[in-house]
Structure 1
Amino acid sequence: MISSIDTESLLHFPVLVGDIGGTNARFAILVDSYAEPKQFPILQTADYATIDDAIQSAVLDHTSIQPRSAVLAIAGPVDGDEIDLTNCPWVVKPKQMMETLGLEDITVLNDFEAQALAVASLESEYLEKIGGGESEPNGSRVVLGPGTGLGVAGLIRTRQTWVPVPGEGGHVDLGPRTERDFEIFPHLERIKGRISAEQLLCGRGLQNIYRAVCKANGVEPALETPAEITGAALDGSSREAKETLELFVVYLGRLAGDFALTFMAHGGIYLAGGIVQRIIPALQDASFREAFEDKAPHEEIMKTIPVYVITHPLAALSGLSAYARTPMRFGVPTEGRRWRKEG
């Protein structure tokens, strides 16, 4: 028998799930708790003035299914009735969305909460292991995702439920350690005098490192986009791009190791997003695990913690769908983040 509290937490199908990042937005509709999500083409946030316009034009106008509930994951902290995205001009206004889109119930989560939810349910075929021991089934986990920005979230097992721990961990400080770091860091672009992890470990972070490497080497930058830099690094056509990717991998290893210690993540560290999927060969280089494990006096602990690259193309939607099917399985606090139509 389902308790009254459990009944209150249930969502009414069909459920619209959405993963909204700074550059791309992905949507699907879950018709019932047994169906596979009906996916829609990935859209560019810059192509639509508002999230309401995007959902109406790219989703609802292309299906006869009218969602009753929505679970949306957005790139930024969820606070109040008007929610700003960190790297996108869209503003999520749940009360307005219920009126304009005909929804009865809207839950808004952080985008890396969705990634954390996915980690609890992804099958092994969607995980590429990068060293370490075996994942402890109930061990704490951490998700990091270099993309338009740098997302971080934890996942903790307690009282038979998985509890995602969202935050803004991508904005922690990241400093130089090696002689080469000290040559490069003076040339890195800063925000109000500081270098955060997100200044290095995202798309524009690749550009930032590349320009700094070029300045340190006394050469003019010849590459512009993150895709050009990673492409030239992987095919060996640019020495500066190759070093950029090598440094990116080391810095990601250091940060991943820091969060592994913070959460004592014996369940594993999970790397998400398109950037890490494209650079798996670079992550398999010994330098990543060396940077990850270089945490004296805890090297032996670090050697046991596995790291995985999430290869599922729509992992966040998978996590949101798992939550929509069985909210009771996850300890997701919804106070101040769930809106319901009265009456």
Structure 2
Amino acid sequence: MRDGWIVAGDIGGTKTALGLFSPEDLQKSIRSRNLPEARVSERYPSQEFSGLIPIVETFLEKNRSILNGYPIWATFGVAGPVLENRCQTTNLPWVIEGEGLEKNFGWKQGTVHLVNDLVAMGWGINVVRSSGGIHWLRAGNADKRGNAVLVAPGTGLGEALLEEDHGSLRPWPSEGGHTDWAPFNPEQVRLLQFLWTQFDHVSSERLLSGPGLLNIYRFVSQGSPAPTLLDRGIPEEHLPEHITQAALDGTDPCSPPTLRLFVEILAQEAGNMALKALATGGVFLGGGIPVKILSFLKESSFLERMSQKGRYRELLDTVPVGVLLQEETPLWGAAYEAMLRMPV
């Protein structure tokens, strides 16, 4: 029996989600194939705080009666590279250190882990893949053993490698979203030439992200005889969601071809990642965008384009592909990682 409580966190540039979990409850939910429930969970506006410590202080103070002096094990998923249990966050002016959290709260050395946010999401796949937290675009043999990959377009493009480990998936961090992007066909060559006029380096993230969707829209809408979303005075940070909605509703002529091109490029990247990791265990699509365009994905040529890898088409045709449905997956994954570290 594991003694203590788990504090899990999903730290983003907009919001920070914290949850308090019982390790026994978490184990039971996994065994029974149910989605887990935190004893307590809270969301905080990240930019209203000077760092993670004040947020955790607020959370712990509110729940002091539940904690009742029991030991704490904590894992925080953070957007940014984690080196030696330290992270300078990508979208916040914060430096987070696991050792600093332990000292501030008087927790035992080694009880706090920082992990990349995609690593937390990868751990979370172990929690949700048998409990209805995934929509399968292609189920294949979803339970078969094998490595897997995670591709997560949202504010940026996150990626992770998922190593098969005795029936579970162990995530490894990657910054693969910042590698060079290569076009697939003449249309995409023109897109690359368009982007070269704006950027010295065109990475996959320049296309597979919220800002990337806007880059594609600007390319598609060049010379449009009709007014576009760019002419409506919409703040730039809100344009990606308007493009997505207009593509689904058919209310703007440039949005559907934009989303089609986005999905094709996403499929190409998913296929590339699957080959690099020999991901016979699955390709998982996470982040904020895939779940929002799920209806479009289901009707698109995603699976066909993902498999267009020459001699390896037949292999990729058998790879399961799933979309993560639950926003809490990274939080649950952080709790799962902490549970694995707790002494039995």
Which whole-Å CA distance do the structure 1 matches of 2:197 and 2:112 have between them? Answer: 37
Which whole-Å CA distance do the structure 1 matches of 2:93 and 2:187 have between them? Answer: 37
Which whole-Å CA distance do the structure 2 matches of 1:237 and 1:13 have between them? Answer: 53
Equivalent in 51, 54, 72 of residue 76 of structure 2: 72
Shift of 1:31: 3.4
**TM-score, with length taken from structure 1:** 0.84
What residue ranges of structure 1 are gaps of 5+ in the alignment? 1-9, 330-343
- Quote the sequence identity (%): 31
Which whole-Å CA distance do the structure 2 matches of 1:32 and 1:89 have between them? Answer: 32
Distance 1:126 1:82, change over 3 A: closer
**What is the DSSP-based 3-state SS (H/G/I as helix, E as strand, rest coil) of the residue aligned with 1:163?**
strand
How many residues matched? 319
Q: Give the match for residue 118 of structure 2.
A: 112
Distance 1:50 1:12, change over 3 A: farther
Deviation sequence 1:74-104 (CA, Å, 0-9, x none): 1111114642112322210223222333433
Which whole-Å CA distance do the structure 2 matches of 1:95 and 1:327 have between them? Answer: 16
Distance 1:255 1:292, change over 3 A: same
Shift of 1:189: 7.0
Kindly provide the amino acid, as one letter, of the partner of residue 254 in structure 2.
Answer: E
**What is the DSSP-based 3-state SS (H/G/I as helix, E as strand, rest coil) of the residue aligned with 1:34?**
helix
Q: Give the match for residue 92 of structure 1.
A: 96
Which whole-Å CA distance do the structure 1 matches of 2:198 and 2:143 have between them? Answer: 38
RMSD: 2.6
Residues 73, 338 of structure 2: 8 Å contact kept: no
Q: Give the match for residue 320 of structure 1.
A: 334
Distance 1:212 1:62, change over 3 A: farther
Structure 1 position 205 matched with structure 2 position 212? yes
Larger deviation: 239-248 or 101-110? 101-110
Q: Give the match for residue 17 of structure 1.
A: 8
Shift of 1:228: 1.1
What residue ranges of structure 2 are gaps of 5+ in the alignment? 27-36
Deviation sequence 1:143-192 (CA, Å, 0-9, x none): 11111211111111245664322111111211222222233333337886
Kindly provide the amino acid, as one letter, of the partner of residue 62 in structure 1.
Answer: K
Larger deviation: 262-271 or 113-122? 113-122
Residues 33, 325 of structure 1: 8 Å contact kept: no
**What is the DSSP-based 3-state SS (H/G/I as helix, E as strand, rest coil) of the residue aligned with 1:208?**
helix
Which whole-Å CA distance do the structure 2 matches of 1:90 and 1:216 have between them? Answer: 42
Which whole-Å CA distance do the structure 2 matches of 1:11 and 1:87 have between them? Answer: 35
**What is the DSSP-based 3-state SS (H/G/I as helix, E as strand, rest coil) of the residue aligned with 1:130?**
strand
Structure 1 position 141 matched with structure 2 position 168? no
Kindly provide the amino acid, as one letter, of the partner of residue 126 in structure 1.
Answer: G
Q: Give the match for residue 181 of structure 1.
A: 188
Kindly provide the amino acid, as one letter, of the partner of residue 310 in structure 1.
Answer: L
Residues 271, 309 of structure 1: 8 Å contact kept: yes
Which whole-Å CA distance do the structure 1 matches of 2:98 and 2:188 have between them? Answer: 45
Which whole-Å CA distance do the structure 1 matches of 2:197 and 2:124 have between them? Answer: 33
Which whole-Å CA distance do the structure 1 matches of 2:3 and 2:73 have between them? Answer: 6
Structure 1 position 234 matched with structure 2 position 238? no
Deviation sequence 1:229-255 (CA, Å, 0-9, x none): 111111011121222111111111000
Distance 1:39 1:174, change over 3 A: farther
Larger deviation: 109-118 or 91-100? 91-100
**What is the DSSP-based 3-state SS (H/G/I as helix, E as strand, rest coil) of the residue aligned with 1:209?**
helix
Equivalent in 150, 153, 158 of residue 157 of structure 2: 150
Residues 190, 199 of structure 1: 8 Å contact kept: no
Distance 1:239 1:116, change over 3 A: same
Distance 1:304 1:81, change over 3 A: closer
**What is the DSSP-based 3-state SS (H/G/I as helix, E as strand, rest coil) of the residue aligned with 1:135?**
coil
Q: How does 1:1-343 map to 2 (within 5 A)?
A: 13-34=4-25, 36-57=37-58, 59-64=59-64, 65-66=66-67, 68-80=72-84, 82-104=86-108, 105-122=111-128, 123-131=130-138, 133-158=140-165, 162-188=169-195, 193-215=200-222, 217=224, 221-222=230-231, 224=236, 225=238, 226-327=240-341
Shift of 1:132: 5.8
Which whole-Å CA distance do the structure 1 matches of 2:62 and 2:289 have between them? Answer: 30
Residues 4, 72 of structure 2: 8 Å contact kept: yes
**What is the DSSP-based 3-state SS (H/G/I as helix, E as strand, rest coil) of the residue aligned with 2:82?**
coil
Which whole-Å CA distance do the structure 2 matches of 1:134 and 1:155 have between them? Answer: 17
Distance 1:217 1:185, change over 3 A: farther
Larger deviation: 234-243 or 153-162? 153-162
